[in-house]
């Protein structure tokens, strides 16, 4: 881990304490970084009607989009698991829709980090070009 990753990892650890995961007990935190360096945070928010749960990644993205942000550089994600967390298919799609060049930093609870582009995580992804 480099110094930037160490700092974001520490922020994610603190943020993860806010996760609302009373059903799965799987806590996730994310930090989305815009092109100009602004940060938007997210946690997973679970519902008693389980399918209404929303992942940490989409919370961060939707917060940023609703504030008018459109240009995204990186997302940093941490869960409780020792292994670097792997974003779900739904989040990969929405991240690809709004941030097709996003760099995704996936952290494990003990500090391991994996870095991939969103297009590596969603090869041959569907997007709005198919809708024209
Ligand atoms: N979850 C996330 O927030 N992000 C991921 O990348 C994987 C899964 C959440 C959804 C649910 O609250 C819990 O983790 C278990 O699936």
Active site (annotated) includes residue 120: no
CATH code at 3-131: 3.40.140.10
| 47 within ligand 1 shell (Cβ under 6 A) | no
Long-range CB contact pairs, 110-115, < 8 A, 24+? 110/82, 111/1, 111/9, 112/82, 112/83, 112/84, 113/1, 113/5, 113/9, 113/84, 114/84
In this predicted structure, the answer to whether residue 59 has a pLDDT above a threshold of 90 is yes
Q: Where are the domains of the chain?
A: 3-131
Nearest-atom number in ligand 1 for the CA of 87 is 6
The mean of the pLDDT values for the chain is: 97
Q: Average pLDDT, stretch 10-14?
A: 98
In this predicted structure, the answer to whether residue 129 has a pLDDT above a threshold of 90 is yes
Residue of 20, 24, 28 to test ligand 1 pocket, by largest number of atoms within 8 Å of CB = 28
Percentage of the chain exceeding pLDDT 90: 99
Catalytic residue among 3, 46, 57, 129: 57
Q: Tell me the whole-structure pTM to 2 decimals.
A: 0.97
pLDDT at 132: 85
Residue of 15, 56, 90, 93 to test ligand 1 pocket, by largest number of atoms within 8 Å of CB = 56
What are 64-83's pLDDT values in tens digits? 999 999 999 999 999 999 99
């Amino acid at each position: 881990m480099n110094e930037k990753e160490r700092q974001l990892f520490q922020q994610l650890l603190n943020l993860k304490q806010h996760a609302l995961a009373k059903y799965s007990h799987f806590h996730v935190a994310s930090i989305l970084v815009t092109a100009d360096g602004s940060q938007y945070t997210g946690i997973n928010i679970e519902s008693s009607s389980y399918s209404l749960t929303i992942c940490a990644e989409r919370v961060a993205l939707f917060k940023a989009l609703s504030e008018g942000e459109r240009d995204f550089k990186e997302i940093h994600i941490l869960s409780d698991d020792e292994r670097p967390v792997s974003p779900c298919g739904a989040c990969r799609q929405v991240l690809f829709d709004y941030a097709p060049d996003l760099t995704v930093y996936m952290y494990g609870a003990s500090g391991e980090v994996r870095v991939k582009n969103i297009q590596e995580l969603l090869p041959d992804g569907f997007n709005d070009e198919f809708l024209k």
